[in-house]
């Protein structure tokens, strides 16, 4: 996934797959999706921190969520 490589290279972040059995292992969740799913949350307890897209690309959005305990 090119996005994971970009996050690692530019921000020093090493994304890993989300584990449904251990959601508290990482309190942040990055979701890639389309604008029609803009209001979908990953589940109870998740708060949207950011919703961004690339300029000129209206078909893809990235949403950052934080798990609130």
pLDDT tens track for 41-54: 677 888 889 888 87
Q: Are 60 and 32 in contact (CB under 8 A)?
A: yes
What's the number of domains the chain is made of?
1
Within the chain, which residues score under 50 in pLDDT?
Answer: none
Q: What is the pLDDT of residue 45?
A: 85
Q: Has residue 5 been placed in a domain?
A: no
Q: Has residue 45 been placed in a domain?
A: yes
Q: What is the pLDDT of residue 37?
A: 67
Q: How far apart, in whole angstroms, are the C-alpha atoms of residue 26 and residue 19?
A: 9
Q: What is the pLDDT of residue 31?
A: 85
Helix residue ranges per DSSP H, 1-69: 2-11
As given in the structure block, the two tokens for residue 20 are 């449904």
**Predicted TM-score (pTM) of this structure:** 0.71
Q: What is the pLDDT of residue 38?
A: 64
Q: Has residue 44 been placed in a domain?
A: yes
Structural domain range at position 45: 24-69
Q: Has residue 17 been placed in a domain?
A: no
Q: Has residue 48 been placed in a domain?
A: yes
What's the gap between Cα 15 and its chain centre?
10
């Amino acid at each position: 996934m090119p996005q994971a490589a970009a996050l690692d290279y530019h921000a020093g972040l090493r994304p890993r797959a989300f584990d449904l059995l251990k959601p508290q292992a990482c309190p942040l969740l990055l979701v890639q999706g389309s604008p029609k799913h803009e209001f979908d949350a990953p589940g109870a307890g998740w708060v949207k921190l950011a919703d961004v897209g690339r300029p000129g690309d209206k078909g893809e959005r990235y949403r950052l969520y934080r798990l609130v305990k």
